[in-house]
Amino acid sequence: MEGARVVAISELLQIGRPLTGASSLSLRQNERRASAIFLAPSHKQKGEGAPLLGDGEPVAPLHAFRPLNIPAVLVGTLGLTGDDGSSRICSSGNHCFCFSDGSGRVCCAVLDLDMAIVGREIYVLAWNFVPISRDGGVLEVIKWSLPDQASKPGNDARPSVPLHFPRREDRSRVRSCAWGVLAAVSPVFSVPFSVQHGGFQGNARDETGDGAYLEGFIVELSTCKCDSCGKARSVKELHHCLLDQKVHSFDNPVFVYFREPCSSWRPILSKLLGDVVTVSGLKKKYISAGGLESLIFVTTERTIVHENGKPGDCGSAERSALPRKGSHVGNYCGVVTGVFKNGTVVELDRKNVWLLLAGPLLDLPHSLRVGAVITVKNVLFIRPSFPWIQILLLGSFIKTSIEVKSFSLIDSRCHSMRQRQSLLWDFIYSLPFYARFWALLVTSSFQKKFAGVLSEKEILGTKKKEGLVENYCKLSLPSSTVEHQIGAFEDFCNHDHSSFGNNSNDVPLMMVVPLSNFIGKCITIWMSTLLKMQADSEIRRENGYASHVFCEEKYHHRMTRKIMSSEELGLVLVGFLQVSPSSGRLQLVDSTGCVDVVMPDLSPNFDPRILYEVKEYTLVLDGFPLQLDPVLLRQSDPLSCRSIFQHFQVKEGTHNVMIYAHFNARNLRRLNTSIFHSVVTVDDAMGSIDADFYLLLVTHKLPHIPNFPDHSKHLNRTSAFAEAVLLPYNLIIKQKHQDFQHAEDSMQPRTTDDIPCLITFTNSTREGYLVPSNSSRKEKISSSNGKQDLQTILLEFKPESINLYQLLCIGQYYILKSSKDLRYRTEHIMSVDSAKALISSQSHLWSLDLSVGQLLLAHTARCDQLSERSSIENYGSHSSGVCESGRLFHHYADMIDKRLDAHLYLSKKENRLLNEIKLLENFLIKAHNMLGEVYSVCSLIEITSSISLPYSGISSPQGKFPEGKFPEGKLISLRGSITDVHISQPRDSDSRMAWSYKGLGDRTLCIHVCEGHHMVKVRGAFCKNVHPFGLGPGANVTFHRVLMLLNSGQYELVMIPVSCLVVNYVERLDHILHCCRNFPPLIRSSESSSDLDARIESSRMGSSRLISELIHYSDKTKVRLHCRVYGTFLLLLEDQVPKPKRLRPAQRFRIPAVRIPLAGFIIDDGSSLCCCWADSGRAKTMLQLEESACQSFSSGHGDNQTQVTVGYLLKKMLKNHRRITLRNFGAKVDSPLVDATFSVDSRKVLSPFDQDALKFVILHAQNGPNLNVAGHVLNLEELPCLEEDLSATDLVKKSMIHVWATEVTHASPLVEARNLMNELLEVVGMPEKPRTLKKKVQVRAFSV
């Protein structure tokens, strides 16, 4: 203590950084007086001495508290703001204590406040100082003492306020008193009032206007109306009465309005919450609030507040006085773990407990910061029904008070809740608590999402203009949510606050999160899915069937798909739509990140400036359960409120998951309506003059390869290519017609070759002509031989027009406006002379369909006709927007007819045109033939079995491909449903295909395509940037141009860089059903789920091995054998101490209490014999003990015959002998028990009858059914230890193979047969008879 330096306030303000100091850390409460005496002389040396912070001390961060190395005290007066005539609020806008020492004045917070020190000089012995602004700060008093304890008021008297000196004697009468438990204290607020004669003299702030404002606050007292309290005539008697041992019932609310000048007393009264107080010197006044008049007490100049202690001190007073209106109003004490939005929301205890301080009148204590322990009194407990998170929301309202119980040293930021004057805040205050909290989250989210894209004013709005957040909240919240605000008096006196937090009847509020959080959540979901699968595998001890697929004699990681709906997630996507220039994929982007989206019905003319909201979507996570990155496992919850309020960044780690959202364009909602977006229609594009179009049929899309890993620096933006057939006709579109019928009548050809036609667009019909180009004229001339080829052109899509490429469909007609871009260049591409068309962002490409001769009655019929046809041609009507049952989503291909831009109609009315139309039809048929046939799985198998490739013999028998040459095969198209996708190890034969994988991916993908019970496998490089979304189990996919090769006598389907995969639709597959896809539906439905599960379990290991083949297997190899017991050469039986459990009577003898520590069997599967070792339950299953135990066994003959069950005999035997060992040397079927010896642990001998019973058991096992034995191969050293004089090889032949059984089950003939059938079919493979296919296309793939 010696040498404690007195620090002046001015010094602290001058330093201007967080400081913490103490006179002595060992000071105890009872030493206060001594220290006070010691410190008194040094009082005069205030501000003198060595500087508080030495120059040589290391520089700490400015926001960190810096402890003073020297003992330091502050001496000054603790007062209330406004007492000395200064402003009634501090610089932060709070009503708080102040501390002044002559050199300066700062706000003050005191732990363990004694009312006696208010207005008096104190020594502050332990303190923190937090600067708020340049000339302000907060002094946090942790420990204090009075200079002279003797000067304290009389010990018998209870402390009271106001603390005017000298104290007056309270002569108030009881009728001007209010007494009871202090239940609630409101914040200080202002009310307008008109000055009447002799009325209030308020603090007139409105200098210009008619009215003045009166400042004050209300307290609620729960008073007692008992007889003894009623009999009190003076305040003194009242004190005695309250201190009396009588029971008081504090349950009548009384309100006291503390008006100026008593409004500065709020800090003291809030400290007295829960105490019994007496307020004397009051006046009764009528107030009118919310149309109701009520009588309240108002303070006067003579008002004095007396503290009467805690309710417990007042006899056995009941605690019912505490505010319990509504069951969910209460107090909460916790540690502040986060303060966000300028102190509007406070996280407590890191347990998803959130204190919402968003109220217009609330005071935020200066000391509320991270690390502080606070008690929130009179707070509403709300459980909001947010679908994405579960939190406890503490809603603060006008009665709420916050008391800081412990100051924090880990954070020094003071949060101020000023500057809330904007339309947004007014809107937020008008919401109920759950919606307020939600709106604050949305605000925070939007600020992050559009940082750098939109200005702060655009997001938050201003005092006059609504911002994006407010607009969005108003769109999302039901209109009934907004409540009208009521006055402070009415609010405070309202007894029912429960409605504030009630949102049970409302729709769940979905959350908009920054896309980085969204992606983080997706990765978290993916990781938890993998963990669950891993746990599932561990439960099943071996490879779980859910995550692995058996293919090519090995288990492979199966592609796993996780599908979630937006309702499950509870999240809304908000962002701008754009096509990623790097990946060429459609994305929803914001400032924090992007998420890939799949929109089958997207118009190519979307505006990237428009902000969209998507509420209904399907989130799909596709990937392989390859590894769990520990970095990602440690990631904090991306959807926690903390992550939304704070900056969240997805941790970088490998996750191998494709994340995308699927939705339709109608689910998009525009948020920024100010941007005018015009959709470019055909009409607009054509302009006023005649437009000339080319007619194309798209025959193939070359996959868009974003960039090559080796050349990523140079080729960031690459073009995409598609092949098309140019029909030898140009389409000239003429004037506009509104009426279809009229237009049809007016069709007149210009020349004899022109074919008049009508083109129907979305909102207009135009007349046009199909003008033959030169080539078709030639065709007409040489139609007899028909050798004229259609022109193939290559469409090159520049990166800016990549969205047009994405929407392109194979097999669809398009019209392309002729322009300079369509450059005819003779290039040798794909072995065909072709032209190249450059599609830029200015190009227009519209989908089209043609009809010849069918008269459309009216223009309006078009849409109906289109949708009708689409429902026939495609896989169900999409008009409702709901996919068929079980079908997850459609892709572009199946939605194309819904989005056709135009319809071309050719009339057959005029006979003279028939020839022209026939010629056109010939061209159309020819063009369609160039598309090639899309085979189904069945038809492909059928064709390969009957027709085969002319194999030109480039490949070598070793599977090595000569350098510089390419394999030859057929390019075919295949459509089927994918049942499994897995990554497989590249085979030897893949080495020659390595050219196709280079640069695209280092893994080989094996795709199982099924139709019914037929399956083919397609192999190819795995590159997640190239493969379309949705590729995975459950997808119906068309593989365009996959290479069919003949390799080692078997056909292979290989994806090459020109192969294009189109996902037609995706069906939702359940993992288990997915696994047992081979089961015929009848069997699946008739079997119980447990049977099914057991059979899946047995089938998951694939077909069984043959014992004769085990010799080739190394030790510890896991094998499964389908076998039966041939003989038993060793059996150890022990008496099992029965567990104390209740058995049903029928089970008593069926399951004998036998323990089998070890048993050795000889098993037979038809190919050979081997030894099988088993124990416990596995041995019992092999012995068929359960069945044999209930068999009857007879002894004696004729009249003396007795019958018992084998189970009973076994039990009796083991009771007598404890342990029985059976050894059977040279176990044979014909004489199975010739050399059997029995030994027992007891000194008795096993009777022949018992021996017969045991032999019966062994013989019974030999005639048992077939079993599935899973286990691993043992070598001779690993054989189980028997007695010293006996080894296992003495019992059996040394040449035998030994297997340790880990799992023994009864075999299911059906499952076994199916597995065996699959195995045999795989061996058989595709037929070997080669014949020629119709077409042969030589592939010259690009070497990448």
Partner 1 sequence: MGPTEDAHVKLLARELLGLAGRSASFCMAGGRAVSRAEAVGVVVAWERREKLIRFLLDDGTGCIPCVLWLNHRLLAGRPPGATAAPRQSLATWRAAPGHASRAQMGALVRVRGRLTAFRGTLQLTVGGVVAERDPNAEALHWLQCLRLARRCHGRPTPPYPINRSATGNKRKTPSEDG
In angstroms, what is the minimal distance from the CB of 1171 to partner 1? 9
Question: Position 725: which residue type?
Answer: V
Taking residue 1217's Cβ as centre, other Cβ atoms within 10 Å add up to 22
Query: Where does this chain touch partner 1 (CB under 8 A) — which range of 1-9, 25-33, 1044-1052, 1253-1261?
Result: 1253-1261
1169 in contact with partner 1 (CB under 8 A) = yes
* Tokens at 948, concatenated: 């085969």
Rg of the chain over all Cα atoms, to the nearest angstrom: 44
174 in contact with partner 1 (CB under 8 A) = no
Q: Which is nearer to partner 1, 178 or 1206 (CB)?
A: 1206
| 928 alpha carbon, distance to own chain's centre | 45
Directed axis angle between helix 468-476 and helix 433-449, to 10°?
130
Among 1232, 1238, 1274, 1299, binds partner 1 (CB under 8 A): 1232
**Burial tier of 1208 (Cβ tally within 10 Å: 0-12, 13-18, 19+):** middle
Closest by Cα among 1045, 957, 1032, 1051 to 993: 1045
Task: Classify residue 168 by its DSSP letter.
Answer: P
Q: Which is nearer to partner 1, 1139 or 1197 (CB)?
A: 1197
| 1323 alpha carbon, distance to own chain's centre | 44
Among 1256, 1287, 1333, 1344, binds partner 1 (CB under 8 A): 1256
Ramachandran quadrant class, 1255 (left: phi over 0; alpha: psi -120 to 50; beta: rest)? alpha
Binders of partner 1 in range 385-404 (CB under 8 A): none
* Tokens at 564, concatenated: 């979630």
In angstroms, what is the minimal distance from the CB of 705 to partner 1? 45
Closest by Cα among 570, 605, 610 to 589: 610
In angstroms, what is the minimal distance from the CB of 1259 to partner 1? 5
1252 in contact with partner 1 (CB under 8 A) = yes
Query: Could you give the CA distance from residue 216 to residue 1260 in angstroms, rounded to a whole number?
Result: 97
* Tokens at 556, concatenated: 């492979």
Q: Which is nearer to partner 1, 64 or 1276 (CB)?
A: 1276
592: part of which helix (H) or strand (E)? none
Binders of partner 1 in range 1312-1331 (CB under 8 A): 1312-1313, 1316-1317, 1319-1320, 1323
Check if the beta carbon of residue 1174 is closer than 8 Å to that of residue 1161. yes
In angstroms, what is the minimal distance from the CB of 1270 to partner 1? 18
Among 1018, 1107, 1174, 1222, binds partner 1 (CB under 8 A): 1107
Q: Which is nearer to partner 1, 1135 or 1312 (CB)?
A: 1312
Per-residue x/- marks for partner 1, 1275-1304, CB under 8 A?
------------------x-xx--------
Q: Which is nearer to partner 1, 1029 or 1193 (CB)?
A: 1193
Alpha carbons within 13 angstroms on the beta-carbon side of residue 371 total 11
1248 in contact with partner 1 (CB under 8 A) = yes
In angstroms, what is the minimal distance from the CB of 1083 to partner 1? 10
Closest by Cα among 1034, 1035, 1036, 1041 to 1020: 1041
Among 196, 1203, 1231, 1244, binds partner 1 (CB under 8 A): 1231
How many residues form the binding site for partner 1 (CB under 8 A)? Answer: 46
In angstroms, what is the minimal distance from the CB of 1090 to partner 1? 17
1106 in contact with partner 1 (CB under 8 A) = yes
Tell how many helices (H) and how many strands (E) occur in the chain: 33, 60
Query: Where does this chain touch partner 1 (CB under 8 A) — which range of 227-235, 690-698, 1162-1170, 1172-1180?
Result: 1162-1170
Q: Which is nearer to partner 1, 406 or 1168 (CB)?
A: 1168
1204 in contact with partner 1 (CB under 8 A) = no
Among 406, 1108, 1136, 1289, binds partner 1 (CB under 8 A): 1108
Q: Which is nearer to partner 1, 1100 or 1122 (CB)?
A: 1122
Q: Which is nearer to partner 1, 772 or 1207 (CB)?
A: 1207
* Tokens at 1093, concatenated: 């599960």
Query: Where does this chain touch partner 1 (CB under 8 A) — which range of 411-419, 561-569, 660-668, 1244-1252?
Result: 1244-1252
Taking residue 1103's Cβ as centre, other Cβ atoms within 10 Å add up to 21
Task: Classify residue 1173 by its DSSP letter.
Answer: E
In angstroms, what is the minimal distance from the CB of 1192 to partner 1? 11
Pairing of the two strands 618-623 and 560-565: antiparallel
Directed axis angle between helix 1248-1262 and helix 1206-1217, to 10°?
130
Q: Which is nearer to partner 1, 296 or 1170 (CB)?
A: 1170
100 in contact with partner 1 (CB under 8 A) = no
1125 in contact with partner 1 (CB under 8 A) = no
Binders of partner 1 in range 112-141 (CB under 8 A): none
**Burial tier of 396 (Cβ tally within 10 Å: 0-12, 13-18, 19+):** buried
In angstroms, what is the minimal distance from the CB of 1190 to partner 1? 14
In angstroms, what is the minimal distance from the CB of 1215 to partner 1? 23
Q: Which is nearer to partner 1, 255 or 1238 (CB)?
A: 1238
Among 2, 301, 1230, 1277, binds partner 1 (CB under 8 A): 1230
973: part of which helix (H) or strand (E)? strand 970-984
1309 in contact with partner 1 (CB under 8 A) = yes
In angstroms, what is the minimal distance from the CB of 1182 to partner 1? 15
Question: Which ranges in 1035-1156 belong to alpha helices (H)?
Answer: 1071-1075, 1081-1086, 1089-1099, 1147-1150
245 in contact with partner 1 (CB under 8 A) = no
Q: Which is nearer to partner 1, 167 or 1293 (CB)?
A: 1293
DSSP sequence for 691-705: EEEEEEEEEEEE---
Question: Position 1037: which residue type?
Answer: V
Positive or negative torsion for Cα 722, 724, 730, 731: negative
Q: Which is nearer to partner 1, 428 or 1133 (CB)?
A: 1133
* Tokens at 199, concatenated: 């009325």
Tell me how far CA of residue 771 lies from CA of 727, 788, 1018, in angstroms.
Answer: 11, 17, 44
In angstroms, what is the minimal distance from the CB of 1255 to partner 1? 4
Query: Could you give the CA distance from residue 526 to residue 568 in angstroms, rounded to a whole number?
Result: 15
Per-residue x/- marks for partner 1, 1259-1278, CB under 8 A?
xx-xxxx-------------
In angstroms, what is the minimal distance from the CB of 550 to partner 1? 17
In angstroms, what is the minimal distance from the CB of 1080 to partner 1? 12
Q: Which is nearer to partner 1, 460 or 1092 (CB)?
A: 1092
Residue for token digits 């911002």?
467
1229 in contact with partner 1 (CB under 8 A) = yes
Query: Could you give the CA distance from residue 97 to residue 138 in angstroms, rounded to a whole number?
Result: 10
In angstroms, what is the minimal distance from the CB of 1301 to partner 1? 18
Query: Could you give the CA distance from residue 389 to residue 373 in angstroms, rounded to a whole number?
Result: 25
Positive or negative torsion for Cα 194, 198, 202, 207: positive
Kindly provide the b/e burial profile for residues 457-486, where b requires at least 16 CB atoms within 10 angstroms of the residue's own CB: ebbbbeeeebbbbbebbeebbeeebeeeee
Q: Which is nearer to partner 1, 1208 or 1256 (CB)?
A: 1256
Q: Which is nearer to partner 1, 823 or 1084 (CB)?
A: 1084
In angstroms, what is the minimal distance from the CB of 1096 to partner 1? 17
* Tokens at 503, concatenated: 């949102």
Note the residues at the interface with partner 1 (CB under 8 A).
Answer: 1106-1109, 1122, 1126, 1164-1170, 1197, 1228-1234, 1236, 1248, 1251-1252, 1255-1256, 1259-1260, 1262-1265, 1293, 1295-1296, 1308-1310, 1312-1313, 1316-1317, 1319-1320, 1323
